[in-house]
Amino acid sequence: MKDCVDRTLFLAATPRAKGLYNIGSGGARSWVDLANAVFAALKQKPKIQFIEMPAAIREKYQYFTEANLARLRQAGYRAPVTSLEDAVADYVRNYLLTDQRLDPANA
């Protein structure tokens, strides 16, 4: 989340950056990766149960996404990408478990 805020602020402050930009991580990750990161941040053993994809959304579901950061990098954004595991750990430990909120002024 902090990466997305940082990228959004960069784009807002960069006059030559016009149009739409991908601000994701640049790498595809799975829902299992996300779930494992949450369990790790909570220092709990993963307990994941899989269910069948509902037929009603099976043909409409987007099974793969990966943001292409080339345009963002061309605009001059050079900060490294925070890993999924580090970002989830930061959010869980510093905001979710403490009931803190991210202050956009200090992002």
Write down the domain spans for the chain: 2-106
Residue 95's pLDDT is 86
Radius of gyration of the chain (CA): 17
Q: Compute the distance between CA of residue 23 and CA of residue 9 in angstroms, rounded to an integer.
A: 11
Higher pLDDT, 1 or 33: 33
Residue 1's pLDDT is 73
Residue 12's pLDDT is 96
Average pLDDT over residues 44-66: 95
Is residue 52's pLDDT more than 80?
Answer: yes
In which band, very low, low, confident or very high, does the pLDDT at 106 lie, cut at 50, 70 and 90? low
In which band, very low, low, confident or very high, does the pLDDT at 102 lie, cut at 50, 70 and 90? low
Average pLDDT over residues 71-78: 96
Residue 55's pLDDT is 97
Burial 19-57 (b: 16+ CB within 10 A, else e): eebebbbeeeeeeeeeebbbbebeeeeeeeeeeeeeeee
